[in-house]
Every structure is written in C-alpha cells, then in structure tokens.
Amino acid sequence: LRIDYSDNANGEILTEGEATNYCTYSKNLANDDNVSSGGDGSGTITRNYSTAPTGNLEASRFEASISNTSSSSNYALFGFDESGAGVVPSKSISLWMKSNTGSSQYITLYSSRLTTGDFDFSDSGARGIYLEVTTEWKRFTLSGEYTGGASDFSAILAIRGGGFYAGSDNVDISFFQGQLEDALSPSSDITTNGSVQTRAADTGITTGDISHLINSEEGVLEAVISTNDTNSSIKGISINESNGGATLNLVSIYFTSSNITARVYEGGVNVYSQTYPFVSGTYYKVAIHYNNGTFKTFVDNVQIGSTTSSGSGFASGQLKYLDYKRGAFTNWFRGRASYVKIYDSANDY
C-alpha cells in the first residue's frame, strides 16, 4: 500500500486504479517551452525557479501581463499537450501552483476540446475555470467530456481578456507537475521525464490469517475514507473469511457510483445492507457494528440504520482477513483512507 501525505500530514493509505500521465515532462513541462501571446499580452517562463512540493528546486515560474482586459485578443498563455493518448470520452487536467508575490492571483485554466463539465466560462470554443492561486501550493484540476482525435488534447494556463478574464492583469506564479489523463477524475501524481508513464493499479490484502486480532462474534469495522472514483464498480474494504475468495462471510464498507454502502454476508447470504449518498472527494467516517446478527451503521458518528438479521452471526474465528476489496469482488478499494480500525467489541465504539 502507498502512504500519501498531500492531504494529511500524518499520511493516508492511498489505493487507486491503473492510471497514465500523457504529459511527458510532468515536473517542469520542459517539452512546452514557449509562451504564446497576442495583442498587448506578454509572458515568460523560468525553469527550476522555486522549491516544489517535493522540497526540490524544480518548479517553474510563469510571469505574464495584459493591459486591456476587455478583449480575448489580449493574452499570454502557456500550454501543455498529451502525447499518444487514445480517443476517449473523458479527460482530466491537473497542475500544482502557488503565488510568488505574497498575495493571491487570479488566472484561467481551460481547454478547447472539453464539451461538458463544471466550467466557469465558455468562450470562443474554449471551456475552463477561474483559479485563485494563493501563496500555498495547491493542486488545481479541470475535467470534462471530450471531443477530438487522438493526441490533440491540451491544457492552457492563461491571463487573458474578455470572457477568459479571471481578475489579474499581471501574474507571477510557480507551477509544477502537470498531468493529463483519460479519466474524469485525476489520480495522484505520476512523474514523467520524456515519455508517457503508467502506474499499475494498487492492491491491498493481508498476507495471512489475523483471526487472533478480530472478534468474529461482535465488533466494529471503522474507516475514514474518500474517493474521486464515481464509476459503478464496487470499491470496498472488508474483514472476511476467504482472503479474496468466495463471498461467504464478511463485513464490508464500500463505494459505488453514488453511495457508501455497509453490507454483511453470512454464509453467502446478504443479511444487511445500508446506503448513504457521498460527495466525490469528501471524507466520511463510516462504522459498521456487528453483534451476533444485529447490525448498525454510523456515518460521521450519526447512526443511519440498524437491523437484526435472520442469521445467527459469525462463529468464533470465522473472520480472518482484512482486504482492500470486498471479498471475492474484483474491484479494489479506490480512494484515500486516513485510517482503518477494527474494534473487538461492539460496545467499544
């Protein structure tokens, strides 16, 4: 499992599906050296100007200005392109940025190939968002549905007039780690240096029987989790009997396309299921209590459901493994977990 510190100084367990960064020089976008300008706009880029989130001197500087903000003909922009991507309906852009001036600055991120998404503006065939770039490093993202052929998708960072105008006539910002992906939600950073890179899917499964740590008859499975993956596949965490095998006996928490679900199987029979709607990227503390056939679900410390099943509960030692998947189901958990806890008594929580 990977430990990620970008959202939490204490680190989080991060598991994601396979992902590819089609931007071939991610750290400083060195394959896109030129700033394009028009009208009264001007701009420059300085490589290895500032300290990146990695702690190394490898972030680039973008300085740009325009005088007349009423026309989109006045601009200074910088673009980075995909290399070798397929023709797919979904695209996402991500880029780390911070202000170099000691105060917030306002800039635009857009693409001419996105058609449907959560945009702030649409102008001259381009769709994008207005960004407030503060003095702290932040990862900005833009996603949407895509029309176009292979290898012609690009991201544009700009100070520009007209409908593109975000609020600053002059900008001085640092940027780092550009990413272009064939997915509606960007994955975590994938570093490239001259070629497209693919990160393999993460998996997480205990390597042995931990039944001595799990009270099968009663207990609580609790996790603080979030996901940006809103496809319909089951993405879960479970304590179970079969170590990824047949779904016979398990206690599970998982995401689907729109809900968090708490579910219990006894002897291959679904004896308990409770759902709760989630917002992509939001963290939830989810706990499922099990106690000799009685089940309760809590989300952010509020009980949302309970039931007494027709089953008899689990036998001593029956729950043996902790998996970052839901038993026999093929989809691994995709998201971030601040922690996963197993309590050995339903009364401890």
pLDDT in tens, 214-226: 999 999 999 999 8
Q: How confident is the model at residue 3 (pLDDT cuts 50, 70, 90)?
A: low
Confidence (pLDDT) at 174 = 96
What sign for the dihedral angle of Cα 54, 57, 58, 63?
positive
Confidence (pLDDT) at 204 = 61
Q: Does the pLDDT of residue 282 top 60, yes or no?
A: yes
Lowest mean pLDDT among 208-212, 259-263, 306-310: 306-310
Q: In this predicted model, which residue has the larger pLDDT, 165 or 234?
A: 165
Q: What is the mean pLDDT of residues 74-91?
A: 77
Q: Write the DSSP string, 287-326.
A: EEEEETTEEEEEETTEEEEEEE-SS--PPTT---EEESB-
Confidence (pLDDT) at 324 = 81
Confidence (pLDDT) at 278 = 93
Q: Does the pLDDT of residue 260 top 90, yes or no?
A: yes
Separation CA 33–CA 107 (nearest Å): 19
pLDDT in tens, 185-214: 788 889 999 888 998 877 665 557 888 889
Confidence (pLDDT) at 50 = 95
Average pLDDT value for the chain: 85
pLDDT in tens, 88-129: 667 889 999 999 999 999 999 998 878 877 899 988 888 899
Q: Does the pLDDT of residue 82 top 80, yes or no?
A: no
Q: In this predicted model, which residue has the larger pLDDT, 329 or 73?
A: 73
Q: What is the mean pLDDT of residues 292-312?
A: 83
In whole angstroms, how far apart are CA 300 and each of 19, 84, 318? 30, 43, 28
Q: Any idea what the Cα angle at residue 104 is, between residues 99 and 106, rounded to 5°? A: 90
Confidence (pLDDT) at 112 = 81
Confidence (pLDDT) at 190 = 92
Confidence (pLDDT) at 211 = 87
Confidence (pLDDT) at 205 = 56
Pairing of strands 321-323, 235-240: antiparallel
Lowest mean pLDDT among 150-154, 248-252, 324-328: 150-154
Q: What is the mean pLDDT of residues 41-52?
A: 94
Q: Does the pLDDT of residue 15 top 80, yes or no?
A: no
Q: Does the pLDDT of residue 286 top 80, yes or no?
A: yes
Confidence (pLDDT) at 327 = 61
In 3D, which of 133, 155, 158 has the Cα closest to residue 23?
A: 155
Q: Does the pLDDT of residue 151 top 60, yes or no?
A: no
The token pair that represents 79 in the structure block? 């673009």
226's CB contacts (< 8 A; 6+ apart) are 281, 282, 283, 284, 335, 336
Q: Does the pLDDT of residue 307 top 60, yes or no?
A: yes
Please answer whether residues 88 and 146 qualify as being in contact, where contact means their C-beta atoms are separated by less than 8 angstroms. yes
Q: Does the pLDDT of residue 176 top 90, yes or no?
A: yes
pLDDT in tens, 329-339: 657 788 888 88
Q: Write the DSSP string, 14-47.
A: EE---EEE--SBTTT-TT--PPEEETT-EEEEEE
Confidence (pLDDT) at 87 = 58
Confidence (pLDDT) at 58 = 92
Separation CA 175–CA 32 (nearest Å): 13
The token pair that represents 102 in the structure block? 């000691």
Q: How confident is the model at residue 64 (pLDDT cuts 50, 70, 90)?
A: very high
In 3D, which of 318, 72, 133 has the Cα closest to residue 218?
A: 318
